[in-house]
């Protein structure tokens, strides 16, 4: 079932709630043993995002890192109290393909349970650190189903040095497994020739000119009549964050245009409509139930 062509498409807004030092490119620079001693800026930055969303009357999904939710349950409560969706970014920000199945299960179970305790609501969505569900960690899908997650947003259909399954579907799809089903909701891309290029979030939003994102989301909405899935991190609107001594490429990826991102976000919220992942997933689920052909299009068995 395609949405009515006269209706404006409602896209998904999502925030991965973590601090600037949790980012995977800084793994070798800020070991986990030092996290506790770092200056924390995640609460202030997330509060600013909440205020911006209120100003534009937008609801978003917040994929909260369990480690952050454990230390700041009041932040989780504040997000939920303002009508946004709480979802899980795992507990310790470890890449999925670097974990055993048992360790991954502990991580996603711990995050879900403490976020549900803090928010008083069921958590149904998961997004892996650095989109790290790849061909070698597809077993994670089974664990997420067993742990009660309803949707996942970790499989990016692109080529990248650290993540992505370039042959996976670009639109939301259902993955059927022996233990149950899960809706996969990939970050948005646009197709140029045979290439899938990311158009909706993170470094691509911050580093490339704004017109790229606006063109890409408009293209997904107009040509495919589908919502775009957008993502951002609280540290991306914080030009005052402490600078870490990373390599040149990591510094470029992390620090470029931090002072411009909030104004870009405001333009984005003016140019498009947004709601939570849950709402978009519910709509996609309907479509998927109407069309059996869109179940599982990953060319792997595991």
Q: Which residues bind Zn ion (CB under 5 A)?
A: 16, 18, 129
Residue (16 or 272) nearer to Zn ion, CB: 16
Class of residue 59 by CB neighbours under 10 A (exposed 0-12, middle 13-18, buried 19+): middle
End-to-end Cα distance, the chain: 30
Per-residue H/E/C for 63-79: EECHHHHHHCHHHHHHH
Contact 111, 124 (CB under 8 A): no
- In b/e form, how buried is each residue of 98-123, taking b as 16+ CB within 10 angstroms? ebeeeebbbbbbbbbebbbebbeeeb
Least distance (Å) from Zn ion to the CB of residue 130? 6
**CA-to-CA dists, residue 156 to 28, 43, 134, 188, 197, angstroms:** 24, 28, 8, 8, 10
Least distance (Å) from Zn ion to the CB of residue 96? 12
Least distance (Å) from Zn ion to the CB of residue 46? 13
Residue (226 or 233) nearer to Zn ion, CB: 233
Least distance (Å) from Zn ion to the CB of residue 93? 6
The β-bridge relationship of strands 10-17 and 189-192 is unpaired
Least distance (Å) from Zn ion to the CB of residue 244? 15
Contact 86, 80 (CB under 8 A): yes
Least distance (Å) from Zn ion to the CB of residue 45? 14
Q: What are the tokens at 80?
A: 């939920």
Residue (10 or 42) nearer to Zn ion, CB: 42
* CA pair distance 93, 301, nearest whole angstrom: 26
Residue (130 or 221) nearer to Zn ion, CB: 130
Least distance (Å) from Zn ion to the CB of residue 43? 16
Least distance (Å) from Zn ion to the CB of residue 234? 11
Residue (18 or 107) nearer to Zn ion, CB: 18
Residue (18 or 278) nearer to Zn ion, CB: 18
Residue (16 or 184) nearer to Zn ion, CB: 16
Residue (90 or 221) nearer to Zn ion, CB: 90
3-state secondary structure of 152: strand
3-state secondary structure of 128: coil
3-state secondary structure of 225: coil
């Amino acid at each position: 079932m395609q949405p009515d062509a006269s209706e404006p498409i409602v896209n998904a807004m999502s925030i991965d709630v973590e601090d600037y030092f949790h980012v995977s490119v800084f793994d070798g620079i800020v070991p986990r043993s030092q996290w506790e001693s770092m200056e924390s800026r995640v609460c202030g930055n997330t509060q600013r995002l909440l205020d911006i969303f209120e100003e534009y009357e937008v609801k978003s999904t917040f994929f909260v890192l369990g480690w952050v939710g454990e230390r700041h349950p009041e932040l989780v409560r504040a997000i939920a109290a303002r009508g946004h969706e709480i979802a899980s970014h795992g507990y310790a920000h470890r890449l999925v393909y670097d974990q055993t199945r048992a360790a991954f299960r502990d991580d996603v179970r711990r995050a879900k349970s403490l976020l549900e305790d803090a928010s008083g609501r069921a958590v149904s969505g998961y997004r892996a650190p650095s989109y790290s569900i790849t061909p070698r960690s597809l077993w994670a899908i089974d664990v997420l189903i067993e742990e009660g997650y309803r949707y996942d947003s970790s499989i990016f259909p692109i080529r990248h040095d650290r993540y992505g399954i370039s042959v996976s579907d670009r639109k939301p799809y259902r993955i059927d497994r022996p233990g149950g089903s899960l809706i996969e909701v990939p970050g948005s891309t646009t197709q140029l020739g045979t290439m899938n290029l990311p158009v909706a979030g993170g470094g691509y939003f911050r580093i490339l000119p704004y017109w790229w994102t606006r063109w890409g989301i408009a293209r997904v909405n107009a040509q495919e009549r589908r919502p775009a899935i957008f993502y951002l991190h609280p540290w991306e609107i914080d030009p005052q964050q402490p600078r870490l001594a990373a390599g040149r490429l990591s510094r470029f990826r992390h620090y470029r245009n931090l002072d411009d991102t909030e104004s870009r976000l405001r333009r984005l919220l003016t140019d498009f409509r947004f709601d939570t992942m849950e709402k978009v997933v519910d709509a996609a689920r309907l479509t998927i139930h109407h069309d059996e052909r869109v179940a599982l299009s990953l060319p792997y068995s595991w």
